[in-house]
Amino acid sequence: MKTLKFKILFAVLSLWLRGNDCLFATDISEGDSTSVPAKYFMNTSFFSPNIIVSFFSKYNSEEHHYKPYKVFSVVSTMPFEGVEWLTHDENSYYYLLEGKLDDYTVLQDGENGRKESSPLLEMLSCLSRGAEKIYTTHYGEGREYDETNLERFLGSVGNADVVFFSFGAGISHGYVPTLEESCDELGLIKIPSSDQVTDKSMQDFVCRLIKEPKTLLSIIRESWSKIDSCEIRSTPAHLALFNFINCLKKDGKEVFVYTDNIDGIHRKCGIDLSRNRSNKAKDVDIDSTVPYVSFETLLYPTLKDVEGQNVVSVLIGQSFDFDFVLGHLYEIAPHTQFFSINIKGDPLKIFTGLDMNNLPEEEIDLLTVNKITLPDVLLLRGSAHEILPKIVEKYEDLKTKNL
């Protein structure tokens, strides 16, 4: 598969948009410490249309240990009061709790192993160009998706040759904090149908963060540790999804599975994700590494997988198109029937024209890529913990009747 050459808009802004997939480091040996030149590694970021707040692990050279969520940075297109801003250019400004721009880094997978990049410099460049507007402009416009019922859903899945599952934080709702719950805890106001917060709530949050860094960093560290160090082994939704996938495979259907969650519950339940074979092993020991972001582990379906096939895609608790999975599927198989299992019926935006298996060699500027609302999605409204077990039960009943 070709290396994904999206500009940093994909590689860095996705740190928050992907949900909970930026890991913090545990202890590393003294020998390993010499191979990590930077002081800070990114954990995660909060976004508003004009402001990005990022949190970093800080390396302690005496203890040879990375302590998560110890340092933060702020980049913005507008120098609001309460912050001693440094100027990057006439359109972007930044604030650092300590250190300098070059000290802050993120690790991500490349063709030749992990490589470093400078997230703050790239964020500032993106803000200068207005690139952050990518994920807010026209995001979630339109009425809610039309609702459907289990019978229609099961009929479509029963006739399908290929079934795609993609799930976000909603599948762990009630067991692991969601984005909206994390925002509420920090006094941030989430923008509907988006994974960003309002500029006003972000400004207030930044001012509080600068005045009381230790207090707020401690709250954030504790909140995210519930996700990063999740000890929950299963939920009703995960177990039902595992059983449903197995039923479909036994019936001879091709199944693809994707998530951006790092709570690890899907892995503990035995749900295998669609990943490139060479990268599957990374799931095993991922928590013992320096925080990094991987964009090259997904196994995207090919045209051969879906051409002439009945295709169904099931979105579970998903609020945005992480890794462009849905946009890719819509590009190569626009005849796909999409279903959403969610408490809310907010429309979901996708980028169009992106075949992730056939990207051009040159970098793609997402500002030039068209966005649309994913059309004709049918909604099964409700909690995944209630709906997925019912789906499995009814699917097995239908199979028994048809024997």
* Per-residue pLDDT, 400: 81
Find the helix packing angle between 384-401 and 150-159, rounded to 10°. Answer: 60
CATH number of 146-173+232-401: 3.40.50.1220
Domains of the chain by residue range: 1-137+177-229, 146-173+232-401
* 266-287 per-position pLDDT tens digit: 999 999 999 764 444 344 333 3
Please give the structure tokens belonging to residue 86. Answer: 């440094």
* Per-residue pLDDT, 128: 72
Least confident of 43-57, 122-136, 273-287, 305-319: 273-287
Residue 93, pLDDT above cutoff 60: yes
Residue 212, pLDDT above cutoff 50: yes
CB 292 within 8 A of CB 322: no
Residue 304, pLDDT above cutoff 70: yes
**Is residue 192 packed enough to be buried (19+ CB in 10 Å), middle (13-18) or exposed (0-12)?**
exposed
- Least Cα distance to 206 among 81, 89, 98 occurs for 81
* 152-175 per-position pLDDT tens digit: 999 999 999 999 999 988 899 888
* Per-residue pLDDT, 321: 85
* Per-residue pLDDT, 22: 37
What CA–CA distance (Å, rounded) separates 74 from 89?
Answer: 15
Q: Is 148 helix (H, G, I), strand (E, B) or coil?
A: coil
* Per-residue pLDDT, 279: 42
- Least Cα distance to 374 among 52, 142, 160 occurs for 142
What CA–CA distance (Å, rounded) separates 96 from 209?
Answer: 12
* Per-residue pLDDT, 173: 87
Q: Is the pTM of this model over 0.95?
A: no
**Is residue 79 packed enough to be buried (19+ CB in 10 Å), middle (13-18) or exposed (0-12)?**
middle
Question: What does the CA dihedral 123, 127, 129, 130 come to, rounded to 10 degrees?
Answer: 130
* Per-residue pLDDT, 16: 40
What CA–CA distance (Å, rounded) separates 195 from 183?
Answer: 10
Output the average pLDDT for the chain: 79
- Residue 175 dihedral angles phi and psi, to the nearest 5°: -120, -35
Residue 333, pLDDT above cutoff 60: yes
* Per-residue pLDDT, 135: 42
CB 367 within 8 A of CB 164: no
* Per-residue pLDDT, 33: 40
* 3-19 per-position pLDDT tens digit: 333 433 444 444 443 33
- Least Cα distance to 389 among 84, 150, 174, 189 occurs for 150
Please give the structure tokens belonging to residue 281. Answer: 């092993």
What CA–CA distance (Å, rounded) separates 172 from 186?
Answer: 20
First to last CA, the chain: 42
What CA–CA distance (Å, rounded) separates 72 from 184?
Answer: 20
Residue 263, pLDDT above cutoff 60: yes
Give 31's pLDDT tier (boundaries 50, 70, 90): very low
> What letter would DSSP give residue 206?
H
* Per-residue pLDDT, 112: 58
Written as one string, the DSSP assignment of 264-326 is -HHHHTT----B-GGGGGGGTSGGGS--EE-SS-B-PPPHHHHTTS-EEEEEES--S-GGGHH
Most trustworthy range by pLDDT among 55-64, 190-199, 311-320: 311-320
